[in-house]
Structures are given as C-alpha cells and as structure tokens.
C-alpha cells in the first residue's frame, strides 16, 4: 500500500467518501456505474483529497435493494465487473494513497443465495438452522406480530419446510440466524476473503438487528405511531438492538482485529444515548459507529450546539467520534438547509473532532433529484408509498458535467439526473469559490493542521446565530465560528488571530487586529490564534 503509515488508527485522521458504485461512473453505456468507471475517476478522488472510499455492495445480487440482497458474498456482480477488475481498482486506489472500505451485510442474504436454497429445502438439510425459522401460530398464521421495514408481516411461508422464515427487510431478504456458530464462521470466512485481497475494512449494514428475541415475543405498539408509516407503528424491542447483538459485533471485531490496520464501521440505530454501546468497553466493538445526528438536528446554532454536546457526552471516553452528513439511505441535507448553508455544513464537518463521512455529490451541494413515478426503483416507495421514504432521489447518478448523460453514461441512466445540468463537477472545478472548491480546501486544511484532525475540542457558548468552538493541540489553537443566519453577525473572542479560511473562499491568511469579526450571512470562518 503505497505511502500508507503503519499506524493502526489511520481512520482517525481520514476523510471518508461513500460511493454507490451503480451511480458513480458508467464505462460501457449500460446506464449503470461499474469498477472500470470507478478506476477512471480515481484522479478525481485524489484531487478532492479523500483518504478512503466506502462502496455500497458490489457482490452478486438480484439488486432489489441496491445490492443489499446478496446472492454470493465472494463474487462481484457482472453489472460491476469481475474480481480481477476489483483487484486492479484496489491496487490503483492504494497507489493513490486511498483506502477501500466494503459494505458487509451479515444480517440477511438474498433468497437465491445457496445457503437459503439449502436451508429452505428441508428441516433436515445441513443448513436447516442457518436462518430464522418458526412454526405457524395456532391459527396457522405468522408466529408473531413482527413487521418488515418494507411493510406487512416480517414472516413468509415456506411450503417445503411447512414453516415461516423471518425477514427484517424484503421478503426476498431472509434473516440469517446469528445464534448459529456455523453462520458466524461463514461470515468470518467472507470477511477474510476480502481482507486477504487487501481491503481496509468494512461498514457493517444493519449491525443493530443481528439478533432477535429467542422467545419470539410480540413487539408492543409504538405510542408515538400517529402519522408514521405502518412499519414504524411498533416499538421494536424484540427485534432491534437486542443485548445479544453486541456479542455478534464483538465477534466481527475479533475477525478484523486479526488483520492489522483495518477499520470496522457500522450502521447503528436508536437515539444518541445508545450509540456509546456500539464502541464496547472490555471487549471492543465498532471503531466507528456511524453518527447521523447532524442530519437529524434542527439547523440553528442552539440546536446544533446541543446536538454536538449530546453526542460527545454519549460516547465513551476512549471512543473516537464520527460525523456523517449524507448517505445512500439519507435525504440530501442540501435540500434541508439550502445551498448557502451547505458551505457552513462543510466547514462544520471538517472541523469537528472525529472522522468525517460524506456521500458522493455532497461536495457539489447536490439536492434530491426528482424521480418520476415510472422510474422508481426503491422498494420503500413501492411498498410503503405516501410517506416520503423514497431513497432514489439521493441515489441518482453522479453528475460530472452538464450534458444529457451528465458525463456519467453514454446510455440511458438507471435513474434520471437533475434537469438543467447543475450542479455538476466540471462546472464547479472551474470555479475557485464553488462548494466543491470549499470541500477540497477544507480537506487540505484538515490535513495540514493536526489541531483539526487530532486535536482536543472545547465548545464555546453559541449565541446570536453563531455556532462556535475551539480546537487545540500542543500550543496550537484554532477557533471555528459558523453563522447559520442569512444576515451578518458580529462575533467576539479572546486573543489575536489569523483568518485561515472563510466559507466564501475570498478571505484567507488575514491578520485580525481585533478580537472580533463581522461574519457575513451564511459565513463560517476558521481562525488560528496567535501564541501568547
């Protein structure tokens, strides 16, 4: 791995970029991104400055749910390419000093996976207990009231076994039985297959739901269910975030710890006050439980300071924070806060303590792409319509330029792109003050100043619409002040400083003679304090 440090905690100073490969770059005109397309964009990733990329699933799959329904964990889906092409991409990324994180989906497989085909064939098959099977209730119906996240019962009848199997997600995504040591061993073998090829870690999908209640107890009704989608009308105490789940995560961590310098990220659920459990204490769990608190926060200074404080207080003292502002399952934050505040968000993300994650397109301020009803792919929109759950607007192909195919494809893209051709990468690369230019400059600044990537954090009192805090390391001190209002705000601090960067990218390396600055509307600043 060219240029890589032997430091195991490389991920603490890394900036991580999520890519949905199907929407990143098409190389063969079929309208779907692929590994060859990714290879052609490594120069862009290097230019942007990211340290690692996380790929959504690229394994063999019928692709009913963005590839999270896996038919074979140890092969590449032909849509994306081959194992040889994967190896070439991994080698090229490493040569560019960029690490690669793969999605690990240990909770369920596709129903055409060889494991499930064998398990469903007979109660006496060698893999009979590899999935969650149960006899019918006394009335012949499902064993209990557990629901699928995609609507309806979570149980599906199998005539060959005369039993039901449980599926947390689509009916075609049967849940594996993590109480079975053989299942754990099989997933460990999957991990080793990819780790031996040189991947740098995994993001564990649905890590909070790996174990379900052994007694199959019914979930109680959700007292806050009014106006919620049907799948959310229960409180999933017997299906989600069970105590035994932590043992599963600890097992996965043991596997990855046998490969030095690898990282384990994870999709976790629940409120901020639960996220600390996913780090572990005596037995380590996830290095980076993904934290989406900024996406869920109200966008004002007081709410943001409370969100940040609550999260940092909820994680263990030894834990490394992580901040995620976009993803394949999350609505684009630019649609929530607007184009001007995307600059403020970028500065917030790159200056908070911890590891920043963002999703392809966030760096150009991309909003949700309108998807006509006849182009919808997302099963959420098909099975639970009318609640705004569709994720296709986030998953639309990357727009590299203003052409009809967006520089993404010469064919018909699998999902439509933005009408009008903007925002796009080429246009913003030509502008010295674009959102893309800001993301790149902030990543560079973060790499240049250990104070930002590794330093301590001290909150300052936020008021008058300005969110503020201090980063410290050794004798270095950096102040960050973010105006979340559209009008100017004056901000005061103690000491003398030098302005390192403004979100407007028109003020840099200015000496500030007084301990105050007039922040323009939607402006954030980074100030290096002079040593006393």
Give a yes or no: residue 451 inside a domain. Answer: no
Give a yes or no: residue 5 inside a domain. Answer: no
Supply the CATH number for residue 464's domain. Answer: 2.60.40.1180
Give a yes or no: residue 204 inside a domain. Answer: yes
Name the H helices within 168-244.
Answer: 181-197
Q: Give dist(CA 503, CA 336) in Å, integer.
A: 19
Give a yes or no: residue 449 inside a domain. Answer: no
Give a yes or no: residue 2 inside a domain. Answer: no
Percentage of residues of the chain with pLDDT beyond 70? 98
For residue 338, give the 3-state DSSP assignment.
coil
Whether omega for the bond prior to residue 19 falls within 30 degrees of 0, making it cis, is no
Lowest mean pLDDT among 179-193, 209-223, 266-280, 383-397: 266-280
* Residue with the two structure tokens 């973010």: 482
Catalytic residue, chosen from 18, 65, 103, 205, is 205
Q: Give dist(CA 209, CA 168) in Å, integer.
A: 8
Q: Give dist(CA 349, CA 291) in Å, integer.
A: 12
pLDDT-based confidence at 8, cuts 50/70/90?
Answer: low
Domains contained in the chain, number? 3
Is residue 256 domain-shared with residue 305, that is, in the same domain?
A: yes
Neighbours of 39 (CB within 10 A): 18
**Which tokens is 280 given?**
């572990």
Is residue 511 domain-shared with residue 460, that is, in the same domain?
A: yes
Give a yes or no: residue 492 inside a domain. Answer: yes
For residue 162, give the 3-state DSSP assignment.
coil
Q: Does residue 205 carry a catalytic annotation?
A: yes
Inform me whether the pLDDT recorded for 7 exceeds 80: no
Catalytic residue, chosen from 103, 156, 240, 267, is 267
**Which tokens is 6 given?**
């032997």
Is residue 217 domain-shared with residue 73, that is, in the same domain?
A: yes
Is residue 91 domain-shared with residue 220, that is, in the same domain?
A: yes
| Of residues 77, 96, 95, 98, the one with CA closest to residue 35 | 77
Burial class of 356 by CB neighbour count within 10 A (0 to 12, 13 to 18, 19+): buried
pLDDT tens readout for residues 307-353: 999 999 999 998 999 999 999 999 999 999 999 999 999 999 999 99
Q: What is the mean pLDDT of residues 5-10?
A: 62
pLDDT tens readout for residues 372-402: 999 999 999 999 999 999 999 999 999 999 9
Is residue 190 domain-shared with residue 292, that is, in the same domain?
A: yes
| Of residues 40, 43, 44, 46, the one with CA closest to residue 27 | 40
Supply the CATH number for residue 258's domain. Answer: 3.20.20.80
Q: Give dist(CA 113, CA 464) in Å, integer.
A: 57
Lowest mean pLDDT among 80-94, 264-278, 289-303: 264-278
Give a yes or no: residue 4 inside a domain. Answer: no
Q: Does residue 267 carry a catalytic annotation?
A: yes
Is residue 18 domain-shared with residue 130, that is, in the same domain?
A: no
Give a yes or no: residue 450 inside a domain. Answer: no
Is residue 392 domain-shared with residue 381, that is, in the same domain?
A: yes
Domain extent, residue 472, equals 456-529
Is residue 372 domain-shared with residue 514, that is, in the same domain?
A: no
- Decide: 110 and 169 in contact? Cβ < 8 Å: no
Is residue 121 domain-shared with residue 102, that is, in the same domain?
A: no
- Decide: 133 and 142 in contact? Cβ < 8 Å: no
Phi first, then psi: what are they for 452, rounded to 5°? -85, -35
């Amino acid at each position: 791995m060219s240029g890589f440090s032997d430091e195991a905690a490389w991920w603490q100073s890394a900036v991580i970029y999520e890519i949905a490969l199907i929407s990143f770059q098409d190389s063969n005109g079929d309208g779907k991104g692929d590994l060859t397309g990714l290879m052609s964009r490594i120069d862009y990733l290097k230019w942007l400055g990211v340290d690692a990329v996380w790929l959504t699933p690229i394994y063999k799959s019928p692709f009913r749910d963005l590839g999270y329904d896996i038919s074979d964990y140890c092969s590449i889906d032909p849509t994306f390419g081959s194992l040889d092409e994967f190896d070439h991409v991994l080698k090229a990324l490493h040569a560019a000093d960029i690490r690669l994180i793969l999605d690990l989906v240990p909770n369920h497989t596709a129903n055409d996976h060889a494991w499930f085909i064998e398990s469903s064939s007979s109660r006496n098959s060698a893999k009979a207990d590899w999935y969650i099977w149960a006899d019918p209730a006394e009335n012949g119906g499902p064993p209990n009231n557990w629901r699928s996240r995609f609507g309806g019962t979570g149980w599906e009848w199998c005539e060959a076994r005369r039993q039901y199997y449980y599926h947390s997600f689509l009916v075609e995504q049967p849940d594996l039985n993590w109480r079975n040591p053989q299942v754990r061993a099989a997933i460990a073998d999957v991990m080793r297959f990819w780790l031996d090829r040189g991947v740098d870690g995994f993001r564990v999908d649905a890590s909070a739901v790996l174990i379900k209640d052994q007694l199959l107890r019914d979930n109680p009704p959700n007292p806050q269910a009014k106006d919620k989608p049907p799948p959310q009308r229960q409180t999933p105490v017997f299906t989600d975030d069970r105590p035994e789940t932590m043992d599963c995560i600890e097992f996965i961590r043991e596997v990855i710890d046998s490969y030095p310098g690898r990282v384990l990220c994870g999709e976790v659920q629940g409120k901020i006050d639960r996220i600390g459990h996913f780090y572990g204490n005596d037995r380590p769990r996830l290095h980076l439980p993904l934290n989406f608190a900024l996406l869920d926060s109200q966008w004002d200074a007081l709410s943001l300071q409370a969100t940040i404080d609550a999260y940092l207080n909820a994680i263990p003292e030894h834990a490394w924070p992580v901040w995620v502002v976009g993803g394949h399952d999350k609505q684009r934050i630019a649609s929530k806060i607007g184009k001007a505040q995307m600059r403020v968000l970028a500065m917030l993300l790159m200056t908070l303590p911890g590891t920043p994650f963002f999703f392809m397109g966030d760096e150009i301020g991309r909003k949700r792409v309108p998807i006509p009803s006849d182009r919808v792919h997302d099963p959420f929109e098909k099975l639970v319509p009318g609640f705004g759950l569709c994720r296709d607007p986030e998953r639309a192909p990357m727009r590299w330029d203003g052409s009809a195919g967006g520089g993404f494809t010469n064919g018909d893209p699998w999902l439509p792109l933005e009408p009008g051709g903007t925002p796009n990468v080429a246009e913003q690369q030509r502008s010295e003050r674009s959102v893309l230019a800001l993301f790149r400059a902030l990543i560079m600044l973060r790499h240049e100043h250990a104070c930002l990537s590794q330093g301590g954090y001290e909150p300052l009192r936020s008021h008058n619409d300005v969110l503020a805090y201090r980063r410290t390391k050794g004798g270095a001190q950096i102040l960050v002040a973010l105006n979340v209002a559209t009008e100017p705000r004056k901000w005061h601090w103690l000491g003398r400083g030098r302005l390192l960067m403004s979100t407007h990218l028109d003020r840099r390396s200015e000496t500030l003679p007084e301990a105050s600055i007039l922040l323009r509307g939607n402006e954030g600043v980074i100030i290096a304090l002079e040593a006393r």
